[in-house]
């Protein structure tokens, strides 16, 4: 198993290219199941998770072809199967999103329930309620969802989500695009990835209005067409490199970052004393040697502070002067990075969904263990800021969501390398 070795204490100077968003790309891939025409996604991140989704789609009979220049060609001309096994779905929850498109297009599907994961229980009840509202008959049996559409297909409906779930909103949008008539999703999630999916579905022929607000209106179509669509820039990768530059010190431009998609983070970073500036086609982050101020944050659905940047922000706060309180409200078990950060000398106490971070003057390199994607990268950030050598083990978590992490960081002066064990 590979590990990442970091010699900390080097400032980050230069430019870091931001890739397409993992969490958008996976749902856009699922959208390709809605049409028998070819779909090309550009600005596709090359990640373990997107490859994994590709494997699942190929197992359904979809032609999946990685092309040069970050393009992915998908063609679901016809399906050879409508079954997604436990083995395929448990490894990555986003694969569950094939359920709605399969029912919408093929009238039936059998897809494994995803089960919990390291950061929390993560049920899919809201996904299933949304599909039921569109007329799908759903049965749960032996860990599988067996679903079918009524004769004549799914029918548009009003879907009122009790919580603004990202996955359930996207799943409802996908299925509603091939349902007869109008669907309205109330209390919809407002993440930029929802807007990206709405643009894609609209280009495919469905009419999706209101993405980015809590009320999304979709006019479904009997048939959707193929398209070429550019994946939106990854706001969490942007947040991660911004926090890396802030923690290590330096001055870097994040090329392709969308400034408007990270306002809550920029506000917290500015309060901490980091310079954040929108520049042409990107964002500039700078911090000189001065000590940071501590800032309290609470994770919230978009436009609030993103849970996917909470671990990375905690890494920054370990070095601030004073005490920062970090409250996690989206997932019930998302502080696994805290004890690992403590191995580098951070002073963190966790009580339930609250972490109290008392800033220290310096972190010292140490061997640490990655536990999930965002937790892992928070250890990389801390390692970049620490004195001496940090070794991050179990880096397969990082490969799920960060494309060419070492190359991007080395490109702006970091001393970081991957070693095979
Ligand atoms: C998406 O997960 C992202 N994943 C997550 O990113 C991200 O943390 C999350 O949205 C919140 O922004 C992908 O897009 C692939 P939710 P998702 O449905 O859709 C509860 C990363 O690191 N809930 O908004 O699963 C759920 O348990 C990952 O890239 C239900 O109770 O998030 C959680 O507590 C991690 N029932 C909360 O809602 C449901 O049916 C938010 O989940 C669905 C969700």
Set out the domains of the chain in order of their start, with CATH numbers.
Answer: 2-19+233-420 (3.65.10.10), 22-230 (3.65.10.10)
DSSP 8-state class, residue 151: T
Check if 375 has its Cβ closer than 6 Å to any atom of ligand 1. Answer: no
pLDDT score recorded for residue 120: 78
- Confidence category of residue 206, pLDDT binned at 50, 70, 90: very high
From the list 373, 369, 376, the residue with the least C-alpha distance to 401 is 373
Catalytic residues: 117
Q: Are 322 and 291 in contact (CB under 8 A)?
A: no
Check whether 421 has a pLDDT greater than 90. Answer: no
Q: What is the per-residue pLDDT for 116?
A: 67
Cβ within 8 Å of residue 398, ≥6 positions away: 4, 370, 373, 376, 377, 380, 392, 405
**pLDDT category, 24, cuts 50, 70, 90?**
very high
pLDDT of residue 91: 85
Distance 180 CA to ligand 1 centre (A): 28
Give the ranges where 273-404 is alpha helix by DSSP (H): 310-317, 337-343, 373-385, 396-401
Which residue's CA is the closest to the ligand 1 atom numbered 25?
A: 167
pLDDT of residue 42: 98
Q: Which is the closest atom of ligand 1 to the Cα of 119?
A: 35
Rounded Cα–Cα distance for residues 97 and 175 (Å): 10
Residues ≥6 apart with Cβ < 8 Å to 169: 161, 185, 188, 189, 194, 216
pLDDT band at 78 (very low <50, low <70, confident <90, very high): very high
Q: What pLDDT, on a 0 to 100 scale, did the predictor assign at position 396?
A: 87
Q: For residues 187 and 159, what is the distance between their CA atoms, to the nearest angstrom?
A: 9
* Predicted pLDDT of residue 125: 95
Q: For 341-398, what is each residue's pLDDT tens digit?
A: 999 999 999 999 999 999 999 999 999 998 889 999 999 999 999 999 999 998 888 9
Supply the pLDDT for residue 70: 96
Mean pLDDT, the chain, integer? 96
Is residue 23 lining ligand 1, measured as CB closer than 6 Å?
Answer: yes
| CB 123 near ligand 1, within 6 Å | yes
- C-beta of 374 in contact with ligand 1 (< 6 A): yes
Cβ–Cβ < 8 Å for 73, 57: no
Q: Could you tell me the distance, in angstroms and rounded to a whole number, from the CA of residue 219 to the centre of ligand 1? A: 25
Q: Which of 117, 118, 122 to mutate to test the pocket of ligand 1 (most atoms within 8 A of CB)?
A: 122
Index of the ligand 1 atom closest to the CA of residue 164? 24
Residue 117 in this model has a pLDDT that exceeds 80:
no
Q: Is the dihedral of CA 62, 39, 159, 300 positive or negative?
A: positive
Ligand 1 mutation target, pool 119, 167, 192, 398, most atoms within 8 A of CB: 167
């Amino acid at each position: 198993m590979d590990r990442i070795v970091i010699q900390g204490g080097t400032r980050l100077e230069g430019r870091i290219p931001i890739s397409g968003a993992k969490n958008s790309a996976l749902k856009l891939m699922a959208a390709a199941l809605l049409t028998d025409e070819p779909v090309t996604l550009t600005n596709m991140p090359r990640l373990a998770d997107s490859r994994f989704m590709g494997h699942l789609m190929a197992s359904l009979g979809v032609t999946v072809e990685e092309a040069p220049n970050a393009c992915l060609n998908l063609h679901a001309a016809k399906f050879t199967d409508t079954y997604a096994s436990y083995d395929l779905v448990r490894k990555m929850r986003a694969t569950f999103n094939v359920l709605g498109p399969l029912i919408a297009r093929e009238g039936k599907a059998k897809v494994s329930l995803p089960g919990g994961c390291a950061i929390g229980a993560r049920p899919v009840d809201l996904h299933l309620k949304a599909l039921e509202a569109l007329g799908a008959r759903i049965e749960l049996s032996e860990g599988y969802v067996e679903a079918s559409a009524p004769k004549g297909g799914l029918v548009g409906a009003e879907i009122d989500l009790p919580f603004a779930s990202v996955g359930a909103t996207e799943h409802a949008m996908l299925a509603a695009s091939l349902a007869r008539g109008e669907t309205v999703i109330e209390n919809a999630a407002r993440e930029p990835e929802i807007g990206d999916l709405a643009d894609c579905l609209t280009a495919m022929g469905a009419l999706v209005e209101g993405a980015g607000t809590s009320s999304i209106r979709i006019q479904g179509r009997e048939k959707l067409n193929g398209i070429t669509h550019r994946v939106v820039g990854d706001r969490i990768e942007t947040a991660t490199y911004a926090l890396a530059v802030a923690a290590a010190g330096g001055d870097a431009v994040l090329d392709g970052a969308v400034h408007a998609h990270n306002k809550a983070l920029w506000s917290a970073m500015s309060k901490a004393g980091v310079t954040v500036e929108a520049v042409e086609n990107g964002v500039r982050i700078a911090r000189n040697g001065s000590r940071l101020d501590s800032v309290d944050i609470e994770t919230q659905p978009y436009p609030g502070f993103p849970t996917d940047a909470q671990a990375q922000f905690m890494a920054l706060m370990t070095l601030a002067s004073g005490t920062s309180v970090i409250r996690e409200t989206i997932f019930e078990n998302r502080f696994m990075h805290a004890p690992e950060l403590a191995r580098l000398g951070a002073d963190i106490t966790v009580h339930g969904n609250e972490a109290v971070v008392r800033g220290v003057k310096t972190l010292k390199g140490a061997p640490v263990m990655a536990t999930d994607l965002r937790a892992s990268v928070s250890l990389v950030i801390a390692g970049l800021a620490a004195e001496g050598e940090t070794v991050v083990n179990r880096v397969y978590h990082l490969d799920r969501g960060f494309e060419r992490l070492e190359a991007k960081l080395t490109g702006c002066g970091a001393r970081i390398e991957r070693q095979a064990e």
